[in-house]
Amino acid sequence: MRYIYAIVLVFIVSGCSVKQPPVTKYAIEVTVSQDLLKVSNGCLDKTLKVAKVFSPTTLMSEDMEYTEGKNKLYNYTQAQWYEAPNRALTKEFTEALREAQIFKNVQGYKSHGRADWLLEITLEDFMQYFDKDIAKSFVKVKYNLTLIDMKTSKVISSKTFEHTHDAKTLDANGGVEALTEALREAFRDSMNWINGICQ
């Protein structure tokens, strides 16, 4: 019995001394240059409410996933999102629309105020991809925007945006940088699309 207790003690002590590797958390932040926007005044008499982003369950978590080959899905063990992509993109869309000054007022999804239009956002893809040899990597951002008239509940317009971007480095940092660039391009096109509807 003396030997058994000694072995158990060794395991307990060694377990307490194990240090977990640090986890780097990445925030999603997108800035769209006003110079790239085609501003119109057609929606300055309307208010817009941005709905919470719909997404697959994999994008409702802080876990940062990537795809290897055609169908192998993994989690980064030392990298996470600071905020789940669906929540972060809800905030980023709302802030980008406010900064674009397309509408008289832009409300967040928690607002109880009345709005003329509702923007529904469905995030379909927000992922880093590696080839089967892990020699190359790219990212894909894909989402659908639907503008709805709140008074009639009719769809005003709907469009899907998709952008890809090569990752400079084969790691989480390279993926985040590429996702930021792809998202910036998608946001620019989205704002200009909404501007076009207002004309």
Indicate whether 5 pLDDT > 50: no
Nearest to 119 by CA among 48, 197, 37, 42: 48
Check residue 104 and report its DSSP letter. Answer: S
The whole model's pTM is what?
Answer: 0.84
Assign 34 a pLDDT band (cuts: 50, 70, 90).
low
User: Given this model, what pLDDT does residue 71 score?
Assistant: 85
- Across the chain, mean pLDDT equals 87
User: Given this model, what pLDDT does residue 67 score?
Assistant: 95
| Structural domains of the chain sorted by starting position, each given as residue range(s) with its CATH number in brackets | 23-198 (3.40.50.10610)
pLDDT in tens, 132-190: 888 999 999 999 999 999 999 999 999 999 999 999 999 999 999 999 999 999 999 99
Q: Please state, in angstroms and as integers, the Cα–Cα distance from residue 92 to each residue in 84, 97, 137, 178, following that order.
A: 12, 9, 25, 17
Residue pair 77/21 in contact by the 8 Å Cβ criterion: yes
Distance between CA atoms of residues 40 and 43, nearest Å: 8
